[in-house]
Chain A
Amino acid sequence: MSESSVPLPFRVIAALGLVVLLLPVVIVVLSGLNAGEYLTFPPQGLSLRWVRAFLTSPTFMPAYGFSFTLAFGATLISTVLGTMASVFLTRSTSRWTGTLRGIFMLPIVLPGLVLGLALYVFYATTDLGLSRSLTGLLIGHVLVTCPFVIATVSAALVGFDLSLEEAARSLGATALGAFLRITLPIIAPAISAGSIFAFIISFGQFDVNLFLSIPNLQPLPLAMYASLRYAFEPTAAAAGIFAIALVALSTIATSRLVSFKRMFGA
C-alpha cells in the first residue's frame, strides 16, 4: 500500500493531529514576533520589540541562561555515567543486568512531581547541604536524563561487532585503547544523539524543578510558568522562540546522527 492509498478520512484526521501538535508552537512564535501587546487575528504586524525585550529582560534572559547551563551540566554527567553503565549493561554476563537496567529506567515512569518531592524531603531531612542547592537540582536532572542516554547508547552497543575491538586488542591495543579508538568512534553518533535527548529533556524539565527550585535562580520553564499565572507576557513568548529554535535544531541534528526508523520503526 503506497501513500496515495491512505484513505481520505485518515489524511484529514492526520492533518488535524499535526495542527494540534504545531498550532501552539506557531502561536508562541507569532506572539513573540507580534508588534502589539496582544496577539490578534489577523496579526497586527511583525516586530522584534519582544525579542529585544527578552534579550535585555532581567527575568527571562538569566532564566534561559541558567536552564542552558543546568542542562549542559546534567548532560555532561549523564552522558559519561550513562555510557559507562551502557557498556556494563551490554557486556556483562551478570544476572543483575536486567534488574539494574530496570532501575535505571525508572525515572521515566515515576511521575516527576513525585521524584521532585522525594528529593526535596530527602535533602531537607539529611545533612548533606543539598537543600535548595544547585547540586541538589543537578542531581534531579541527571536522574531524569540518564535513562535517555542509556537507552540510545546501549541500543548502539547491542548492534556493535565486538570482533572489531578484539582485532585491535590482538594487534596490541589496550582494552581502553581499543574502546577509545575503535568502539567509541563507531558509537559516537548514538552517544551524541543520547546526549542531545538528555539536554532537551533537562532544558524543558518542569515537574522535577517545581520542588527543587533554588532562591534567585529560576530555570526557564519555572520563569514562564510564574509569568503565565498572571499575564501573557510577549517577552515570555520571545524566550519561547529561542527555546523552540534550540529544540528544532537539536532534533534535526539527531535525525542526522541516528535513524529514527530504527529507533521507533519496525
Chain B
Amino acid sequence: MRDGASVEPGEDVAMTAIGTPGLAPSMPLRLAAPGPRLWWLVLPMIVLFVAFFLVPVASLFAISLDHPAAGVVRLHGDFDTANFVRIFTREIYTSSILRSISIAAVVSVACLVLGYPLAFVIAKTEHAGRNTLLMILVLASMQLDTVIRLYGLMVLMGDNGLINSTLRSWGVIREPLPLMYNAFGVVVGLVQVTLPFMVLSLIGIIQAVHPSYEEAARSLGATRWAAFRHVALPLSMPGILAGTLLVFSLSVSSYVVPALMGGWKVQVLPIHVFQQISEMGKWQFGAAIATVLFVISAATVALYRFAAMRGAGGRA
C-alpha cells in the first residue's frame, strides 16, 4: 500500500460502487491507493460489532455489578459486589467453579492422549487422497451440530442404551452401568465434541518437525520411543499447549453437553447461568456467573494466544 498517494474522487472501491466515474486510461499509475475511503468497507462491520457485540457484552458485565433485584432486567445503577461475594462464599457455587475447571482439565488431558496420535498419523500420511479423507472426517465431525452427535452418544451410553442393553442381553451385567447423567458422561461428551479442535491444533506443528531430527536421533542410537520422547514431542510442545488450552476453554463454556450428558445433575457454571436466568429470573446474579465464566474462558484464551505466538516464533 502506498501511503500518501493522492486519492481522486472515485478512485477507490467503495466510492466507485456508488457510481462515480472511473479512471481515464491516461491516469498515472497511482493504484489501489487506500486513503480514508477504504474505511467505508469496514464501517458496516464496525457498526454491527459496536452496537450488537461490544455494547451488549459490556452492559451484561455492568448488570453483574448491579444490586440483585428479582425479575428486573434493566440496569438500575445500584452498583455493589453482592453477586460476586455470593458466588465466592456459597459452597454450591464455589464447588461448581471447581467442578467446571476439573472437568475441563480432565477433558483436555483425555483429548491430548487421544488426539496426538491421530494428528500424528494424519500428519505423516503422505498419500494425498487418504490425507484429504482423514481431514474431511475430522473437519466434518467438528462442524456437525453438537446436539446431533450427543444424540448418538446418548443412544450408545444411556441406561437402556446400546452398551448397557447389549451387555445385559449377554448376561455380563444385571444393573446398567452408570455411563451417563454423571460427570463421566459429561467428560465423554466433551471429549467427543472438542477432539477435532485438538487434532487440528496439532497437525500443523507435527508436520513442521522435520523428520531428519528424529532420524538423526535414531542414527545416534536412540530407540524409536526415545527419539520421539526427547526430540519430536518437545518440538511439538507449542501445539500441545495451544490445543490443550483451546479444548479447556471450549469445555468450560459448553452448556449443551452438561445439560444433555449430565442430565442437569452435574452442576457446572453454564448450567447455573441458565437456571438463574430462565428459571428464577435472577438477572444480576446470572450475569455475574456468566462474567466469572467469561473470565475463566478469556484467561485460557489469553494463555492460548501467548502459547500460539511462542509456537509461531519459536524453534524448528
Interface residues of A, Cβ cutoff 8 Å to B: 1-3, 5-7, 9-14, 16-18, 20-28, 31, 38-41, 81-82, 84-85, 87-89, 91-94, 100, 103-104, 106-107, 109-115, 117-119, 121-122, 124-125, 139-140, 142-143, 146, 162, 165-166, 169-177, 179, 197, 200-201, 203-204, 206-207, 210-211, 220-221, 224-225, 228-229, 232, 236-237, 240, 243-244, 247-248, 250-252, 254-255, 260-261, 264-266
Contact A39–B162 (Cβ < 8 Å):
yes
Is residue B256 contacting chain A, with contact meaning CB distance below 8 A? yes
Is residue B92 contacting chain A, with contact meaning CB distance below 8 A? no
Nearest-Cβ distance from residue A57 to partner chain B, whole angstroms? 15
Residue from B38, B117, B253, B290 whose CB has the most chain A CB atoms within 10 Å = B117
Is residue B17 contacting chain A, with contact meaning CB distance below 8 A? yes
11 sampled A-B residue pairs with Cβ under 8 A: A7-B228, A111-B253, A111-B294, A121-B56, A142-B48, A166-B29, A173-B22, A204-B143, A204-B146, A251-B140, A261-B131
Contact A165–B32 (Cβ < 8 Å):
yes
Is residue B166 contacting chain A, with contact meaning CB distance below 8 A? yes
Is residue B265 contacting chain A, with contact meaning CB distance below 8 A? no
Contact A175–B39 (Cβ < 8 Å):
no
Contact B32–A24 (Cβ < 8 Å):
no
Nearest-Cβ distance from residue A195 to partner chain B, whole angstroms? 13
Contact A110–B256 (Cβ < 8 Å):
no
Cα distance, A82 to B48, chains bound together (Å): 11
Residue from B75, B123, B148 whose CB has the most chain A CB atoms within 10 Å = B148
Nearest-Cβ distance from residue A113 to partner chain B, whole angstroms? 5
Known: A143-B52, A175-B23, A266-B207. 16 other contacts (CB 8 A): A6-B120, A11-B121, A21-B192, A21-B195, A24-B151, A88-B42, A92-B38, A111-B253, A114-B273, A115-B57, A119-B52, A175-B12, A206-B256, A240-B148, A254-B139, A264-B204
Contact flags (1/0) for B118-161 with A, using CB distance below 8 Å? 10110111110001100111111101111111111111101010
Cα distance, A113 to B287, chains bound together (Å): 11
Cα distance, A248 to B143, chains bound together (Å): 9
Pick the contact of A176 from B13, B150, B162, B207 — CB < 8 Å? B13
Pick the contact of B126 from A3, A12, A146, A207 — CB < 8 Å? A3
Pick the contact of A169 from B17, B23, B44, B256 — CB < 8 Å? B23
Dominant SS among interface residues on chain A: helix
Known contacts A3-B125, A109-B298; A20/B192 CB under 8 A: yes
Interface residues of B, Cβ cutoff 8 Å to A: 1, 3, 10-13, 16-17, 21-25, 29, 31-32, 34, 38-39, 41-42, 44-46, 48-49, 52-57, 59-60, 63, 73-75, 113-115, 117-118, 120-121, 123-127, 131-132, 135-141, 143-156, 158, 160, 162, 165-166, 191-192, 195-196, 199-200, 203-205, 207-208, 211, 214-215, 224-225, 228, 249, 253-256, 259-260, 270, 273-274, 277, 283, 286-287, 290, 293-294, 297-298, 301
Nearest-Cβ distance from residue A221 to partner chain B, whole angstroms? 5
Nearest-Cβ distance from residue B14 to partner chain A, whole angstroms? 8
Known contacts A122-B52, A221-B145; A16/B114 CB under 8 A: yes
Contact A28–B41 (Cβ < 8 Å):
no
Contact B34–A93 (Cβ < 8 Å):
yes
Chain A contacts for B117, CB-based, 8 A: 9-14, 17
Chain A contacts for B127, CB-based, 8 A: 3
Pick the contact of B41 from A84, A140, A228 — CB < 8 Å? A84
Contact A93–B192 (Cβ < 8 Å):
no
Cα distance, A244 to B144, chains bound together (Å): 7
Known contacts A24-B153, A103-B49, A175-B12; A113/B273 CB under 8 A: yes
Cα distance, A69 to B205, chains bound together (Å): 38
Contact B137–A121 (Cβ < 8 Å):
no
Residue from B25, B140, B253 whose CB has the most chain A CB atoms within 10 Å = B140
Known contacts A14-B117, A20-B114; A172/B199 CB under 8 A: no
Contact A176–B17 (Cβ < 8 Å):
yes
Cα distance, A38 to B160, chains bound together (Å): 10
Closest 5 CB pairs of A and B: A24-B152, A174-B22, A111-B253, A204-B145, A122-B56
